[in-house]
Amino acid sequence: MNNINTLINSLYSAFNAPVLLVCYLGLHFLLSTACANRVSPTGGPEDKTPPKILESEPASGSTNMKDKTIKLQFDEYVTLENEFEQIIISPPLAERPDFKLKGKQLIIQFKEELQDSTTYTIDFGESIKDLTEGNPLGELVYTFATGEKLDSAMVHGEVSMADTDKAVEKVIVGLYPITPDSLFLSSPPLYASRTDEEGHFHIKHVRAGEYLLVAVEDKNGNLYYDLPNENIAFAPGFVTLSEDGDLEGHPDIQLRLFNEGKALPKIVDKNNRAYGRLEVFYNLPQDTLLVEILDKSYSEDSLFIHINPTKDSLNVWFNDIATEEISIILSNPIIDQVDTLTFKQLIERKRLQKIKYTTNFRGGRGESKVDIKRPVTFNFNHPIREIKLDKISLLEKDKPIDLSNIIRLDRDKSSKILTIDYDWKADTPYDLLFEDSALVDFYGLYNEEIFRLLRTPLLRDYGTLMLSFPNYSPDKNYIFQLFDKRGKRLKTLPITEDKLTIKYLNEGEYDLKIIQDDNQNGLWDPGSWAEKRAAEYTFSNEKPIVIKGNWDSEVSIDLRPE
């Protein structure tokens, strides 16, 4: 570039100056641009390397520790994030140390005298990351002892959800000394660690002795169980840790998290988006919920109250009520909770919709598929008050079927649901007809004609699930549940022997759960900390169960509690 400038300056002296000035400026701009573009910089590959510790002072694992300052030197600049949540010190200190960054160094300054002959660990969790890209350092546990040796006992295991058997990460697992139970409800554990992505935990450098082993899915970062929405787990009795580092009698312990159900349900939404229908939604299901309409002038015929099977929502259907607002009282006497709701600006009757429905058919408006061994359901948008059987017909290969004992309204679930429970035959056509006015809804509306062409699949289109249960105990009560890939429960069956066969399953992926129903109430029950009662055991498949047509899929589920 310098040579070009020299050449142009020589020409400028020899020729007409104004002309050469214009040439000079234009040529200089073009050449300068070309030179600049030739060396355009690039960002380079993204840095994914986590920071490293070059040295620590004193070294991790030191004994006879007298210093109140620890220095960790890194190979690059780091940042400290969420230190109060991430950093766990065992045994806990009355006053938290100062953590300060100075250059590439992290300085830890203790504010109190450390206990004599005690082993301390500082678990940094995911608090340390590099400054530029935020790459986490990974597992870092700094250990030192104020006495002549490091405590060597340890405990390890896995934490999973009791109702799903799925591993849970970032759970606080801790050891408490044998003292009153109130410690678990009011203070951090003596020794603590966190579970990793696979639910595994390791608590090292523990003094030998007997401890209570507990886990808590800590919601507020104080490391102990004090909120009703926190899940907990505990090992039965006490665990004994020996000097040689082994957990006596428990080489790898399993902790199963559950929620005691102490959280109070609360209303999260309410609406009156359609004429004659009020909706209320809770954040939790309720076993007992009483509904009362404040205005006593309403007749029973003008109201229909339905609590959904999930027990976390309800509908109040009303008709021909001459008012601009409705107030209802929702109460749960078990937990002494009362809510009063007022719905204003009710939707006018002229906006009442016609009768509509959805079904569990597969396929469109042409020929629809219905599964054998499965009832046909119609879910209407309004409650149905009357069925006129003389206006409903079902033909099997043009042969009429008596509907008197197979068609019903599922009033226990909702009178919006009409069920036809028939023993459908494979590879068979059916004609289903609801004539005009065959159904009368809560508002006195009649249906328009409903006609559907139905056909059942071939037997070879279905697969079979063949289950075996090693360590099945005839003295225990088991419940089998089958779910589709969306988590919808399809079947619930008792297990009465060490084998179970499920036929006529559509192709797809499934999950299962088996409940060891100890109290024989037909439900899975959580545990209780006060009663020292663990949650009921559940067993599930580790990966989705694949069902194929005309194929037997064999699955073994070990019913031995860990």
Domain 461-556 classification at class level: mainly beta
Return d(Cα 215, Cα 205) in angstroms, integer. Answer: 18
Which residues neighbour 180 within 8 Å (Cβ) at sequence distance 6 or greater? none
In contact, 74 and 53? CB cutoff 8 Å: yes
What architecture (CATH level 2) is domain 53-145?
Sandwich (2.60)
Tokens of 237: 């009795």
Cis? peptide before 136, omega within 30° of 0: no
Cα→Cα distances 485→312, 465, 505, 511, Å = 23, 15, 13, 7
SS3 category, 467: strand
Q: What is the pLDDT of residue 32?
A: 43
For 389, left (φ over 0), alpha (ψ -120 to 50), or beta? alpha
What architecture (CATH level 2) is domain 357-457?
Sandwich (2.60)
Tokens of 559: 């019913």
Domain 153-257 classification at class level: mainly beta
Q: What is the pLDDT of residue 264?
A: 86
Residues of the chain with pLDDT under 70: 1-47, 180-182, 245-251, 364, 412-413
Domain-by-domain residue ranges, the chain? Answer: 2-36, 53-145, 153-257, 268-340, 357-457, 461-556
Closest CA to 182 of 226, 223, 227, 229: 226
Return d(Cα 55, Cα 239) in angstroms, integer. Answer: 36
Q: What is the pLDDT of residue 506?
A: 95
In order, the DSSP letters of 273-313 are EETTEEEEEESS--S--EEEES-TT--GGGEEEEE-TTSSE
Tokens of 324: 């601009």
Q: What is the pLDDT of residue 181?
A: 63
The continuous run of DSSP H or E covering 417 comes out as: strand 417-420
Tokens of 251: 């080489």
Question: What is the tens place of the pLDDT at every residue in 309-354?
Answer: 888 999 999 998 777 889 999 999 988 899 999 999 889 889 999 9
Using the structure block, give the residue that is written with the tokens 């450098």.
205
Return d(Cα 213, Cα 545) in angstroms, integer. Answer: 35
Which residues neighbour 413 within 8 Å (Cβ) at sequence distance 6 or greater? 309
Cα→Cα distances 258→193, 200, 203, 388, 557, Å = 19, 17, 21, 49, 22
In order, the DSSP letters of 205-266 are EE-SEEEEEEEE--SSSSSS---TT--EEE-SS-EEE-TTS-EET-SSEEEEEB--S-SPP-
Using the structure block, give the residue that is written with the tokens 């214009």.
22
CA 13 to chain centre: 82
Which residues neighbour 88 within 8 Å (Cβ) at sequence distance 6 or greater? 122, 123, 125, 172, 192, 193, 194, 223
Tell me whether the CATH fold assigned to 153-257 matches the one assigned to 461-556: yes
Using the structure block, give the residue that is written with the tokens 């000394």.
177
For the chain, the distance separating the N- and C-terminal CA atoms, rounded to the nearest angstrom, is: 78
Cα→Cα distances 152→144, 196, 544, Å = 12, 22, 41
